[in-house]
Amino acid sequence: MSEQLFVAGDFSGIQEYVLEVSAAGGGQARRLRARSFYVQLAAEVAVWRILQALGADGSAVPMSAGGHFLLCLPAGHGGPTALPVIREELSRALWNETRGQLSLSLCWGSVLEEVLRARDRAKRRPWAHVVTANGGWNPEAMSLPQIGEPCEICRRRSAERTLRDDLEPLRVCARCHDDTEIGRRLPQHSLVSLGGAGQFTVLGCGVWLGTAPPDAVRVPRPLHRHIPTDEDGQALTFERIAERAAGDDLLAVMKADVDDTGARLSALRCEDPSLAKTRRFSDDLDSFFSIRIQEEMSSVGKAWNDIYTIYSGGDDLLLVGPWNVVIDFAGWLRDAFQAGPGGRQGLGLTAGIALVPWRLPIRHAVEAADRLLERAKAAPNKNRCAALGSVWDWGRHAALLAQGKQLKEWIDSRVLPRTLAHRLLSILTRAALNRASLWAYQLARNLNTQRTAPVRQWADQVLNEIDRPGGVVLAEAAVALRYALIATRERRDRQ
CATH number, domain at 210? Answer: 3.30.70
Quick one: average pLDDT of 387-395? Answer: 96
Which three-class secondary structure state does DSSP give residue 346? coil
Structural domain contains residue 349? yes
Same domain, 178 and 310: no
Average pLDDT, the chain: 88
What is residue 181's predicted lDDT score, i.e. its pLDDT?
81
Mark which of 183, 218, 253 sits at the end of a domain.
218
Higher pLDDT among residues 290 and 164, named by residue: 290
pLDDT of 101 above 50 = yes
- Mean pLDDT over residues 178-195, rounded? 83
b/e per residue 210-247 (b: at least 16 CB within 10 A): eebeeebeebebbbbbbbbeeeeeebbbbebbbebbbb
Is the domain of 299 the same as that of 364?
A: yes
- Residue 327 backbone phi and psi in degrees, to 5: -65, -40
Last residue of a domain, one of 186, 218, 250: 218
Is 224 domain-assigned? Answer: no
Residue 308 lies in a domain: yes
Instruction: Enumerate the β-bridge partners of residue 313.
Output: 316
pLDDT interval class at 32 (50, 70, 90): confident
Judgement on whether residues 321 and 470 belong to the same structural domain of the protein: no
Whether 255 and 360 share a structural domain = yes
Strand order of the β-sheet with 192-194 is: 200-202, 205-209, 192-194, 217-218
Query: pLDDT for 423-467, tens place per residue?
Result: 999 999 887 778 899 999 999 999 999 999 999 999 999 999 888
Is residue 376 situated within a structural domain? yes
**Are 199 and 306 members of one domain?**
no
| Tens-digit pLDDT profile for residues 458-468 | 999 999 988 87
**Model confidence pLDDT, tens digit, residues 239-261:** 999 999 999 999 999 999 999 99
Give burial (CB, 10 Å; 0-12/13-18/19+) of 289.
buried
Angle, nearest 10°, between helix axes 397-412 and 418-428? 140
Beta-ladder partners of 74: 4
pLDDT value of residue 495: 46
Q: Per-residue pLDDT for 23 more than 60?
A: no
Q: What is the pLDDT of residue 63?
A: 92
Answer for the pair 394, 330: CB distance below 8 angstroms, yes or no.
no
Which domain, by its residues, includes 380?
238-387
Contact between 480 and 462 under an 8 Å Cβ cutoff? The reply is: no
- pLDDT above 50 (res 369): yes
Is residue 226 included in any domain, yes or no? Answer: no
pLDDT for the residue numbered 487: 97
Domain identity same for 104 and 245? no
The predicted model gives 20-38 an average pLDDT of 73
Whether 323 and 407 map to the same domain: the answer is no
Distance CA 296, CA 330 (A): 13
- Could you tell me the CATH number of the domain that includes residue 318? 3.30.70.270
Q: Going by DSSP bridges, is the β-strand pair 349-357/384-387 parallel, antiparallel, or unpaired?
A: parallel
pLDDT one-digit tens code per residue, 337-350? 999 999 999 999 99
Q: Is residue 301 one of the residues assigned to a domain?
A: yes
Tell me what the mean pLDDT of segment 126-143 comes to. Answer: 68
Distances in Å between the alpha carbon of 433 and those of 72, 304, 436, 468? 64, 43, 8, 12
Residue 160 has pLDDT above 70, yes or no: yes
- The verdict on residue 203 lying in a domain is yes
Q: CB–CB of 50/199 below 8 Å?
A: no
One domain for residues 85 and 180: yes
Do 185 and 258 belong to one domain? Answer: no
Are residues 420 and 299 part of one domain? no
Q: Is the pLDDT of residue 288 over 70?
A: yes
For the segment 309-324, the average pLDDT, to the nearest whole number, is 93
**Total domain count, the chain:** 3
What's residue 405's pLDDT? Answer: 98
Which pLDDT score, from 0 to 100, does residue 17 have? Answer: 87
The mean pLDDT value for 301-322 works out to 92
Check residue 494 and give its pLDDT.
47
What local confidence, expressed as pLDDT, does residue 189 receive? 81
Do 371 and 303 belong together in one domain? Answer: yes
271 located within any domain = yes
Average pLDDT over residues 315-323: 95
445 or 494, greater pLDDT: 445
Give residue-wise pLDDT tens across range 199-230: 988 998 999 998 889 889 988 877 878 889 88
Is the pLDDT assigned to residue 25 strictly greater than 70? no
Q: Are residues 89 and 9 in the same domain?
A: yes
Instruction: For residue 469, give every residue at least 6 positions away whose Cβ sits within 8 Å of its Cβ, in sequence order, or none.
Output: none
Q: Answer with the one of 328, 353, 387 that is the final residue of a domain.
A: 387
Q: How confident is the model at residue 141 (pLDDT cuts 50, 70, 90)?
A: low
